[in-house]
Structure 1
Amino acid sequence: MGTQKDPIDRFFSIIPAGGIGSRLWPLSRASAPKFLHDLTGSGQTLLQDTWDRLTPIAGRDRILVVTGKVHKSAVLEQIEDLSTENLVLELSPKDSTAAIALAAAILMKREPDVIIGSFAADHVINEDDLFRATVREAVEVAATGKIVTIGIEPTEPSVGFGYIKSGESLKLASAPNARNVVKFVEKPNIAKARKYVESGEYLWNAGMFIAPASLLLEQVQKSEPELHAAIMAMADAWDTDDRKASLEKIWPKLKKVAIDYSVAEPAAAAGLVAVVPATFTWHDVGDFAAIAELQSQGRRGNLAVLGNAKVLADSSSGILVSDTDRLIALIGVEDIIVVDTPDALLVTTKEHAQRVKSLVDALKATGHSDVL
């Protein structure tokens, strides 16, 4: 009888670094998405912060980054410790199932008992030690044959997130906070969101998943058999000379589906999902209003300033994000958002920050792809 591996020794982190972050246009673009920017004033990009948060858990050799082919050089420049063996380049965006399942399948080929954890490259978490304690608990739960998510205690009835309805405690000594997941709920309307938060039974779904790779892939096979077959074929070829040919043949035809639909929701219905409530504070930096709230450095009175701009502000509040060294003067404007880049300028208010995404959709539709 071989001795059982400690669950944490089986653990491998995956950082899906995708998503343009269109609510952060014109700073975040297809060529320079939000994870490649310093949005908190920490002096590091969100991707670098994510990497630093994960390295103490299983080591820098056990983190795999999935990103677009176009971001290869930027990612390798920002993370010097990342080996090309642990870099998976997508030919085009195909949503989260393809990205996470391909990474899981590649790692499972290398290590059949691997437990993977997927953590977005563009979230802000401040208490790294609390984050790591929560992840370690989730890894212990995953080792019992569960898909585990990390749930965030809601601070308000937000309509911007999906929710997790939690159930009974799992009564695991190694993971005292873990509970069963009853179901996942899509982004609700405000009335429903209020009910969820008041009930105390719901957590925000931050899209962090920890699971044995084999279990995650089994779920994909049940819900999306064709996608699963395509992913396994690419994984088989990955560490061989056939990688490029296999990717070019299979990747363009992959179905786009979010991992919430392909894995989380059906697995929860089958009683296979658990949640560990987070003890750390978490922000998804979804729009410029969220960045304004996070900004403590670079404050000029009530104005948060990111970047190198020369700023003159009189009786003004909000956020100014600059990618130029132009002088910007603001007089008597409240809750304003100004984002200045060499070829595009955005002016809006905190109240309308979420609407930047529809502006980006309009730019696409009218053929202004040169500024996207």
Structure 2
Amino acid sequence: MSDFVQDFVTVIPAGGVGSRLWPLSQPHRPKFLLDLLGTGRTLIQDTVDRVLPLSERVVIVTGERHAAGVGAQVPEVPEANLVTEPSPRDSMAAIALAAALIEERWGPQIMGSFAADHIIPDSAAFRETVAQAAAAARLGKVVTIGITPTEPSTAFGYIEMGDELDGAARHVTAFTEKPDADTAAGMLARGGFVWNAGMFVMRTDVLLGHLDRLQPALAGGVREIAAAWDSEARAEVLARVWPTLTKIAIDHAIAEPVAAEGGVAVVPASFEWHDVGDFDSLGELSGAGGEPVAIGRAAAVGTVGARGAIVVGGTKPVVVVGVDDAVVVESDEAILVTVRSAAQRVKDAAGSLPSTM
């Protein structure tokens, strides 16, 4: 119980498909339900394992079509704590609904929001950082956990850190959207910047109070839905109100404007963190180098004059000839052939197929 945080509820937003991991990830089989590293645990299972020691309560927000899959994979989370969205309305609506429902059921609590599809090998260090963030959240701050950059990446947003606040926390000066390579390099050279991993810890009353000011229609909507959630009126209220909620990310709705007011803090994290967003990052995490890497398959992989191949899925032997950093992926639906340098373009792959496919 040493990791237990008093009055804490973990919220896991489990949304998105992971289009850059097509054809492994599909609308009916999103990224967080996959065992990407061949460990025997999917990303959402690993996330739940990581957060369970923090509190007695875990709430998962996911799409209606994924609820059955989530429930089957994480039976330790009560069915009543699986909050289903009729349609995607971006991260703010999902997190705000969870906050409003938490208050309806248990009163004001400290909530931590952690995505279902991140990889954090050191669970103990993660929980220690969350406890530090919770301490800052008790002071009324919206707290984010920042990842120490390992390179001038253009794939993540950045957080500029200001003066020390209390304990490990520091004031947030500003959030920066995903920068170009030169800007990212300049940030790292100046120091004082961390990656924005989208992890937030705050009191539910603080979050909803900011929403009342900044997004009043959204705040009123999620409160109405939460009030009806555990009643027979849920379906009617959800169908009527949910489509009217503003579609906006928590960064734009809360983090950026509240940071400008001095209300956001950051706890820099020392733990290893990965957002496996494409096959290039999957290859890096899997140790792809000179020898080929095989994931989720028992059949042989061979190469001729080719280095760094990644072969995922499939039951037949695969040989890569003369193509460095090749990526070959087979699922029940399709086969993908690309190279790691083109990994970001995979998001357009499914749309390139004829509609009859």
Checking the alignment, whether the CA contact within 8 Å between 2:292 and 2:301 is kept in structure 1 is: no
The percentage of counterpart residues that share the same residue type is 46
| Post-superposition offset of 1:228 | 1.4
Matches within 5 A, 1:182-193: 182-193=173-184
Q: Deviation string for 1:218-240 (max 9, x for gaps)?
A: 22222222111111110111121
Q: Find the partner of 1:339 among 324, 329, 337.
A: 329
Alpha-carbon distance between aligned partners in 1 of 2:352 and 2:144, rounded to the nearest angstrom: 35
1:302 aligned onto 2:291: yes
- The one-letter code sitting in structure 2 at the alignment partner of 1:55 is L
The CA RMSD measured in Å over matched residues stands at 1.7
Alignment of 1:201-280 (within 5 A): 201-280=192-271
CA contact (8 A) 2:301 2:311 kept: no
Gaps spanning 5+ residues in structure 2: where? none
Letter in 1 for 2:331: T
Residue 353 (structure 1) aligned with residue 350 (structure 2): no
Aligned partner of 1:30 in structure 2 is 27
Task: Classify the secondary structure of the residue corresponding to 1:158.
Answer: coil
8 Å Cα contact 1:303-1:319 kept in structure 2: yes
Q: What is the distance in 1 between the residues matched to 2:267 and 2:161?
A: 9
| Equivalences for residues 1-372 of structure 1 within 5 A | 8-59=5-56, 62-170=57-165, 172=166, 176-296=167-287, 302-315=291-304, 316=306, 317-322=308-313, 324-360=314-350, 362=352, 367=355
Partner amino acid for 1:10?
A: D
Counterparts in 2 of 1:277 and 1:346: CA distance versus 1, 3 Å: same
Residue 3 of structure 1: aligned partner: none
Instruction: Specify every segment of 5 or more residues in structure 1 that has no aligned partner in the other structure, as ranges.
Output: 1-6
Determine the C-alpha separation between the residues in 1 that align with 2:107 and 2:256.
Answer: 25
Match of 1:356, SS state, is helix
Corresponding residue SS for 1:20: coil
**CA deviation profile, 1:87-115 (whole Å, cap 9, x unmatched):** 10111111101111000110011222201
Whole-angstrom distance in 1 between the partners of 2:70 and 2:333: 24
CA distance in 1 between counterparts of 2:6 and 2:162 reads 29
Distance 1:314 1:153 in 2: 36
Deviation by residue 1:189-220 (Cα, 9 ceiling, x = unmatched): 11111111111111100000000011111222
The 1:288/1:330 distance shift into structure 2, 3 A limit, reads same
Q: State how far apart, in whole Å, the 1-side matches of 2:301 and 2:121 are.
A: 30
**Aligned with 1:256: secondary structure?**
coil
Q: Tell me, yes or no, if the aligned pair for 1:10 and 1:115 is still in contact at 8 Å.
A: yes
Aligned residues: 352
Equivalent position amino acid for 2:88 in 1: P
Distance (Å, rounded) in 1 between the aligned partners of 2:290 and 2:155: 29
Scaled by the length of structure 1, what TM-score is found?
Answer: 0.91
Deviation (angstroms), 1:178 = 0.9
Partner amino acid for 1:192?
A: T
